[in-house]
Amino acid sequence: MAREHDESMMNNLYWWGVPTLFRCPYVGVLDEKMPEADIALVGVPHSTGNGTTERDQHLGPRSVRNISAVQRRVHGEFEFDPWSAKNIIDVGDVPFPKANDNEDCIEQITSFYQRLDKANVRPVSIGGDHSITGGIIQALGCGELTKGEPVCFLHLDAHTDVFTKVDHFLGAKKSAAHWGAYLADQGKVNPHNSMQIGLRGHPRTQDWLQPSYDYGYNVVTMAEYRKRGAADVIEQIKTVLDGKPVYITFDLDCLDPTIAPAVANVEAGYCGFSIDEARELLHSVRGMNIIGGDVVCLMPTKDNPNNITSMVAGAVMFEMLSMMAE
């Protein structure tokens, strides 16, 4: 009993022990048979898909591993303990032997997630820049978890990431700006049953949203969200995504910079979501077939000393995995 008490006390210290996401057991998947699990937490330390920012986003997974050790053990609002309800493991980081080669990294991501998909293990990932979503959905779209259907996005972001005007982004073809387009071209995502919410990027042209409209994405800009109100947007989400295989991709820059300052493309001068507004939007897909999710664009080297953005990233991951476990 004394040993159990001491270990319980130590587990309340984020800096004690081997860091895994939320202190889940670590099980590597590369050189062995995929273990029995319901949900896999994955680190994707990739930052060569976004050439316009300082490339520190690959440090995101390690930062959240450190800070998540003492984060949320039960979901108070749901009155639910996901860790007891499902077998949730940390499968480590996607390896990037050619880390400066974006195209190779995207294929490494796809190969890694194909193992999870074939085993019907639902991933919740921490990145990494937003190009990782392209690699993930190349594996999950029309796969085992979706039962052969394309993925339908709940995409919260300040930017569209549906880039079609040029064929690469400073050399990266499958970049953080391109994935919304090329996944649709591949048939891996169904734009007509996908939502893009919170867009407020500083436009360089008046038609900056046109590619999303052309592909058929359901777009709700931040200005439209403020005008329509949360209830109306949530009703649209429920209608558009009902009965579909849902994948949540959450760019931390959808949040206001006062809440998440350590992001790759800070959008100041225009209020982003509060964390409560973002959680409310996430909860709109509660009870649906959520096949996976990711949290992206964390840049720990720009965070406050208390690691607030890493904490927020972990909190968003917890919302995703709780809904999936439920």
Query: Is 152 within 8 Å of 245 (Cβ atoms)?
Result: yes
Q: What is the pLDDT of residue 52?
A: 61
Is the confidence at residue 14, as pLDDT, over 80?
A: no
Q: What is the pLDDT of residue 124?
A: 98
161 φ/ψ sector (left φ>0, alpha ψ -120 to 50, else beta): left
* Average confidence (pLDDT) over 44-63: 84
* Average confidence (pLDDT) over 112-131: 94
Is the confidence at residue 62, as pLDDT, over 90?
A: yes
Q: What is the pLDDT of residue 313?
A: 97
Which domains, from first to last, does the chain contain? 33-325 (3.40.800.10)
* Average confidence (pLDDT) over 251-256: 97
* Average confidence (pLDDT) over 190-211: 89
* Average confidence (pLDDT) over 73-86: 92
* Average confidence (pLDDT) over 239-257: 97
Is the confidence at residue 46, as pLDDT, over 90?
A: yes
Q: What is the pLDDT of residue 29?
A: 74
Is the confidence at residue 153, as pLDDT, over 90?
A: yes
Q: What is the pLDDT of residue 171?
A: 63
Segment of 98-112, 150-164, 242-256, 258-272 carrying the highest mean pLDDT: 242-256
Q: What is the pLDDT of residue 217?
A: 98
Which 3 state secondary structure label does DSSP give 202? coil
Query: Is 140 within 8 Å of 291 (Cβ atoms)?
Result: yes
Q: What is the pLDDT of residue 237?
A: 98
Q: What is the pLDDT of residue 93?
A: 95
When pLDDT is cut at 50, 70 and 90, the band that residue 202 belongs to is confident
Q: What is the pLDDT of residue 242?
A: 97
What stretch of H or E contains 65? helix 60-68
* Average confidence (pLDDT) over 47-51: 81
When pLDDT is cut at 50, 70 and 90, the band that residue 161 belongs to is confident
The Cα–Cα gap between 227 and 206 comes to: 20
Is the confidence at residue 44, as pLDDT, over 80?
A: yes
The Cα–Cα gap between 255 and 263 comes to: 10
In 10 A of CB 271, how many CB atoms?
Answer: 14
Is the confidence at residue 142, as pLDDT, over 60?
A: yes
Segment of 17-21, 53-57, 95-99 carrying the highest mean pLDDT: 95-99
For the entire predicted model, the pTM comes to 0.94
* Average confidence (pLDDT) over 251-276: 94
When pLDDT is cut at 50, 70 and 90, the band that residue 176 belongs to is low
Q: What is the pLDDT of residue 165?
A: 73
Rounded to the nearest integer, the mean pLDDT of the chain is: 91
The Cα–Cα gap between 212 and 180 comes to: 8
The Cα–Cα gap between 13 and 8 comes to: 9
Cα–Cα separations (whole angstroms), residue 78 to 35, 70, 81, 286, 296: 28, 19, 9, 10, 25
* Average confidence (pLDDT) over 110-124: 95
* Average confidence (pLDDT) over 12-28: 84
